[in-house]
Amino acid sequence: MTNSEVTNYQIFKREGGFALPSIIFLITILTMVAGSALSIVYLRKQISLREIARVKASYAAESGIVRLLHQYGDSLADETQVADFSEDDGSQSHVNIGRWGALEIVRSMGSYQNMTIERTALAAQIPPPELDKALVFANSSHQLVFTGASRIVGDIVVGQPGTSIGELKNYPSPIVVPVKGSIDRRKIPELPAFNPNPIKKEIEHYLDLLAERGKRGSESNRVMDSSANGSNNYNIGRVQDSTDYIYFSQNTILKDTISRRGKPLHILVNGTATLSKSIRLSGLVVVIASHMITVEQGAEIDETILFSQDSVELESGAQVTCQIIAPSIRFDANSVAGYPSILYSCCCGLSDTTRQRITIGPHAKVEGTVALFSPRSIPQTSDNLILISLGATVTGAVYSTGGVTLDGSVIGIVMTRDFYFYDPPTTYLGWLRSADIERNLLSPEFLLLPEFGNQRIYAILDWI
């Protein structure tokens, strides 16, 4: 008999108890089961607590934005750009306000326990009380003359010469002055105060970026001369999230989709930029071009800024929601800029201001603010002109330090130094032939391009 056989024999022959080891084994199994159940319950509770923390941090971030905007509007101090807020429930927010084109951008970091949530919003201005009028005709030298089917629903401000009815070939003359509202005749009617400097600073910043050819920031966050390969087509979808600047040294056609929520993307084009029908731009994206920007029909542009030193043109049928800043802006027939859009004509650092013009073609629609600010001390009515064609509609505010040719409709406010149109062989100043202004139909929630009036109150225009 070998040793192993002896051992096995002895084991099988042993009749010692196995109760204690079996109970310990059982207890171990039960403890493990209980431990697993405990962890599941614990995890579920942790998930609930985490979700609560996430909601509290998110609400803190949003509350911070609302509170800063309220504070910012009250103080009107440029240095009030950063603020910290604490809530009763222990959540906190760190908020800062800056510029995003013609609008304010507010970023807020809400935190609760270990959870942090970032929220970003675009802010604009609540129309001040002086903008409750349908029309401010800031011209003391001649009358406001109505002919054809022109009419105004709302209160108006005019100069001392007041209003009258005129006769024009091919247009019927109204029997009475077609104004459903009060007529305030002022000795020196003035346009509501508007501070162009913040937008001017933004424009200077864009021009600097263009002049620097995108050489700002570290090399890792820019794409240089992307068109150097000879092709003028560029798929922006391949741009990495870390990229801040893309520079093109020639005329470029942009395609594909990009969306930015966190850090902005600057697309700099030294030439013309064409936003093709397949492009989808949304969020914090700025397209800066030295020459014309063309938006093709089918392009989808949301929250983006389009800045050109020359002009921006929306092809017939194009639909966007964006800020357009350029000396000349042209909306072809049936193109649409949805709320909240801003069309701002400026001289963009060039001495030649004669190109300042905003043209809204037949049946085109703009929802937001259409503004033309000329740096000239005495703007030329015919050169610095907003032209709203027959059938076109602007819902919001129209502001011009030059003139306005208003043949279409405005649901909201018109503020201008003069009205202008040319019907051969005569130039008509102060005449309205088919204008329709209805102040009462403008929603009370409408927000205006900031910098109007002396006392400003800001509100959230859009969440990004």
Partner 1 sequence: MNPKSFYLKNDGYTIIETLVALVLLISVLIPLCVTMGNLFLDRSADVMSYALGIAISEMSEVETNRDFTARHHYLDYHLVLSRETIPMQELVEVKITITSANQANKPVLTISKWISSRPQIFK
By C-alpha distance, which of 227, 219, 283, 278 is closest to 245? 219
Q: Which stretch binds partner 1 (CB under 8 A): 1-9, 83-91, 260-268, 383-391?
A: 83-91
Based on the shown chain and the rule CB under 8 A, indicate whether residue 89 belongs to the binding site for partner 1: yes
Question: What span, in angstroms and rounded, lies between the C-alpha atoms of 152 and 174?
Answer: 12
Please pick, from the candidates 321, 323, 384, 434, the single residue that binds partner 1 as defined by CB under 8 A.
321
Let me know how many helices (H) and strands (E) the chain has, helices first: 3, 33
- Residues with Cβ within 8 Å of 258's Cβ and at least 6 positions away in sequence, in order, are 236, 237, 239, 265, 280, 281, 282, 285
What is the 3 state secondary structure string of 300-345? EEEEEEEEECCEEEECCCCEEEEEEEECEEEECCCCEEEEEEEEEE
Based on the shown chain and the rule CB under 8 A, indicate whether residue 402 belongs to the binding site for partner 1: no
Based on the shown chain and the rule CB under 8 A, indicate whether residue 441 belongs to the binding site for partner 1: no
Least distance from partner 1 to the Cβ atom of residue 61, Å: 10
CB nearer to partner 1: pick between 23 and 228:
23
Q: For the residues of 248-316, what is the DSSP string, one character each?
A: ESS-EEEESEEEEEEEEEEEEESS-EEE-TT-EEEEEEEEEESS-EEE-TT-EEEEEEEEESSEEEEPT
Distances (CA, A) of 219 to 23, 124, 224: 68, 34, 9
CB nearer to partner 1: pick between 55 and 207:
55
- Determine phi and psi for 226, rounding to 5 degrees: -65, -20
Based on the shown chain and the rule CB under 8 A, indicate whether residue 280 belongs to the binding site for partner 1: no
Based on the shown chain and the rule CB under 8 A, indicate whether residue 228 belongs to the binding site for partner 1: no
Q: What share of the chain is helix, strand, coil (3-state, %, to 5)?
A: 20, 40, 35
Least distance from partner 1 to the Cβ atom of residue 259, Å: 16
Least distance from partner 1 to the Cβ atom of residue 141, Å: 39
Least distance from partner 1 to the Cβ atom of residue 64, Å: 8
Least distance from partner 1 to the Cβ atom of residue 450, Å: 16
Question: What span, in angstroms and rounded, lies between the C-alpha atoms of 263 and 378?
Answer: 40
Please pick, from the candidates 7, 8, 29, 70, the single residue that binds partner 1 as defined by CB under 8 A.
70
Least distance from partner 1 to the Cβ atom of residue 394, Å: 17
Based on the shown chain and the rule CB under 8 A, indicate whether residue 425 belongs to the binding site for partner 1: no
Binding mask 124-143 for partner 1 (x = CB under 8 A): --x-----------------
The strand ranges marked E within 332-392 are 336-345, 357-360, 365-372, 385-388
Please pick, from the candidates 6, 32, 47, 228, the single residue that binds partner 1 as defined by CB under 8 A.
47
Least distance from partner 1 to the Cβ atom of residue 449, Å: 16
Please pick, from the candidates 1, 11, 19, 176, the single residue that binds partner 1 as defined by CB under 8 A.
19
Tokens in use for 183? 């007529």
Least distance from partner 1 to the Cβ atom of residue 101, Å: 17
Residue 307 pairs with which residues in a beta bridge? 288, 325
Q: Which stretch binds partner 1 (CB under 8 A): 58-66, 129-137, 147-155, 191-199?
A: 58-66
Q: Which stretch binds partner 1 (CB under 8 A): 65-73, 273-281, 404-412, 434-442?
A: 65-73
- Residues with Cβ within 8 Å of 49's Cβ and at least 6 positions away in sequence, in order, are none
CB nearer to partner 1: pick between 125 and 416:
125
Cβ proximity of 93 and 108 under 8 Å: yes
Binding mask 239-278 for partner 1 (x = CB under 8 A): ----------------------------------------
Please pick, from the candidates 48, 75, 141, 242, the single residue that binds partner 1 as defined by CB under 8 A.
48
Based on the shown chain and the rule CB under 8 A, indicate whether residue 22 belongs to the binding site for partner 1: yes
Least distance from partner 1 to the Cβ atom of residue 300, Å: 13
Question: What span, in angstroms and rounded, lies between the C-alpha atoms of 300 and 259?
Answer: 11
Based on the shown chain and the rule CB under 8 A, indicate whether residue 457 belongs to the binding site for partner 1: yes
Least distance from partner 1 to the Cβ atom of residue 274, Å: 25
Least distance from partner 1 to the Cβ atom of residue 68, Å: 10
Based on the shown chain and the rule CB under 8 A, indicate whether residue 30 belongs to the binding site for partner 1: yes
Cβ proximity of 165 and 173 under 8 Å: yes
Residue 390 neighbours by CB distance under 10 Å: 14
Cβ proximity of 244 and 266 under 8 Å: yes
Cβ proximity of 234 and 248 under 8 Å: yes
Cβ proximity of 399 and 384 under 8 Å: no
| Site residues, partner 1 (CB under 8 A) | 14-17, 19-20, 22-24, 26-27, 30-31, 34, 37-38, 41, 44-45, 47-49, 51-52, 55-56, 59, 62-63, 66-67, 69-70, 87-89, 126, 321, 338-340, 443-446, 457, 459-463
